[in-house]
Amino acid sequence: MASRREVEDALRRLAPKIPSFEFNAIADHAIDSAGLSKASPETAAWLSMVAFVRHALTDYDALLHDGYDQAAARHFVAAEIEDVLAGWGVRRKLTAGE
């Protein structure tokens, strides 16, 4: 299991311009998620960051509520997620499954 410090360090490398509120929420999720407990710090930080942006900063959940399936909803919010991540200094791009 990655330590909080390792996840925070990875998050700082991935998103050097991330605001502090989002930083803390994403780090908390990465550490508290049972599904990420065996992930590397980089993977835990990345997946938590993408999930946070998707659920907190896009209409993803509303699209699901409106009947879109997960793949379609992810498709419709992908560009918005990319824009937020780019604003945080992220260079990595989403893959098809993210």
For the chain, how far is it from start to end, CA to CA, in angstroms? 22
Q: What proportion of the chain, given as a percentage, has pLDDT over 90?
A: 93
Please give the residue range of the domain that contains residue 40: 4-87
Dist CA 86 CA 66 (whole Å): 28
> 92 lies in a domain?
no
Q: How many domains does the chain have?
A: 1
Q: Would residue 96 count as lying in a domain?
A: no
Per-residue pLDDT tens over the stretch 14-25:
999 999 999 999
Domain-located, residue 48: yes
The alpha helices in the chain, defined as continuous H runs, are: 4-14, 20-32, 41-57, 60-65, 70-87
pLDDT tens-digit map of 33-79: 999 999 999 999 999 999 999 999 999 999 999 999 999 999 999 99
User: How far is it, in rounded angstroms, from Cα 62 to Cα 66?
Assistant: 6
**Count of other CB atoms within 10 angstroms of residue 87:** 12
pLDDT over 70 for what percent of the chain? 100
